[in-house]
Amino acid sequence: SKNDDDAAVKQRQLFWKQTCKSILLDLFGLFVFIPTLVYIKTIVWPTHVMSFSMEDFPSPSIQSATTLLSMGIIHEFGFYWTHRLMHIYPSLYKYHKVHHEYKQNNVLSAQHFHPIDFLISIALPAILTTEIVRPHGFAQLQFGLWLLTANFDDHLGYAFPWAAARWFPWSAGTDAHEYHHSVNMGCYGSKLSLWDWVFGTDNVYNEWRKKRWSLVD
Query: Tell me: the pLDDT tens digits for 55-83?
Result: 777 777 787 889 999 999 999 999 999 99
Helix, strand, coil percentages in the chain from 3-state DSSP, rounded to 5: 70, 0, 30
The residue that leads in pLDDT, 45 or 190, is: 190
Q: What is the pLDDT of residue 49?
A: 66
Alpha-carbon distance 59 to 197, whole Å? Answer: 33
Q: pTM, whole model, 2 decimals?
A: 0.89
Per-residue model confidence as pLDDT tens digits over 134-159: 888 888 888 999 888 888 888 888 88
Q: Residue 42 above 90 pLDDT?
A: no
Helices (H), 51-168: 62-88, 90-96, 115-117, 124-133, 137-154
Percent of the chain with pLDDT over 90: 40
Is the CB of residue 181 less than 8 Å from the CB of residue 100? yes
Q: pLDDT (tens digit, 9 = 90+) per residue, 166-214?
A: 777 788 878 888 899 988 889 999 888 999 999 999 999 999 888 877 7
Q: Is the pLDDT of residue 217 over 60?
A: no
